[in-house]
């Protein structure tokens, strides 16, 4: 295997492994990087599928998608990007026609109006996630980076300061202002409906 600066895969950062993979196309490098986050991918899939066997298949399918998607996309934060990729994969699988069950309509059954809106709630949540992703993209670079690290990657202020090089007070400010800007953006999107 060829690694940048002759660093072993265990000592390499995600970014170094990504660069090495893009330069060489070596699937072993991609495998090494993916193995770090297989539990994360499995957890995301389990949240949506609630079936361990289906999740194992999904983890493998997502790995198979990686080698083409990484050649297309420029990835700065592999963990966050992979989380979104796994979530989108699961949502697409759930939307596929083979997951919709049909039943014969029986006019003698009575329906409660409360139950008819369950799928609507799921679709509304999915739509809100899309709007949130769009709003995150509108944040200033520093705010976006701090918000993603804090909320999506569960990093604390000290870890974010260490990763980004920002002062601790700046990290707090970026997160608070980013959160406020996200709230304003989401409210504007609701009003535009």
pLDDT tens figures, 8-28? 667 789 899 988 988 888 889
Q: What is the average pLDDT score of the chain? A: 82
Q: Delineate the domains of the chain, giving CATH numbers in brackets.
A: 120-193 (1.10.10.10)
pLDDT at 149: 86
Contacts with 30 (C-beta within 8 Å, 6 or more apart), sequence order: 17, 21, 63, 66, 67, 70
User: In the structure encoding, which two tokens stand for residue 185, read together?
Assistant: 């953006």
Whether this prediction's pTM lies above 0.85 is answered by: no
122-158 pLDDT per residue, tens: 777 778 778 888 888 888 989 989 888 888 888 888 8
- % of residues, the chain, pLDDT over 90: 24
Q: Is 58 left (phi over 0), alpha (psi -120 to 50) or beta?
A: alpha
pLDDT band at 34 (very low <50, low <70, confident <90, very high): very high
């Amino acid at each position: 295997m060829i690694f940048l600066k002759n660093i072993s895969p265990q000592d390499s950062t995600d970014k170094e492994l990504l660069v090495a993979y893009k330069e060489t196309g070596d699937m072993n490098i991609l495998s090494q990087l993916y193995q770090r986050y297989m539990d994360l991918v499995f957890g995301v899939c389990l949240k949506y599928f609630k079936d361990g066997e289906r999740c194992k298949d999904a983890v493998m399918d997502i790995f198979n998608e990686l080698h083409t998607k990484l050649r297309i996309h420029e990835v700065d934060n592999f963990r966050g990007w992979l989380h979104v990729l796994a979530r989108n994969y699961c949502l697409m699988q759930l939307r596929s026609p083979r997951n919709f069950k049909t039943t014969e309509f029986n006019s003698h059954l009575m329906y409660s109006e409360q139950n008819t809106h369950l799928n609507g709630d799921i679709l509304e949540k999915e739509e809100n996630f899309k709007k949130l992703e769009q709003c995150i993209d509108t944040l200033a670079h520093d705010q976006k980076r701090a918000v993603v690290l804090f909320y999506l990657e569960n990093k604390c202020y000290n870890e974010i300061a260490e990763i980004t090089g920002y002062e601790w007070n700046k990290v707090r400010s970026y997160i608070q202002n980013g959160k406020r800007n996200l709230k304003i953006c989401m409210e504007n999107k609701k009003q535009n409906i």
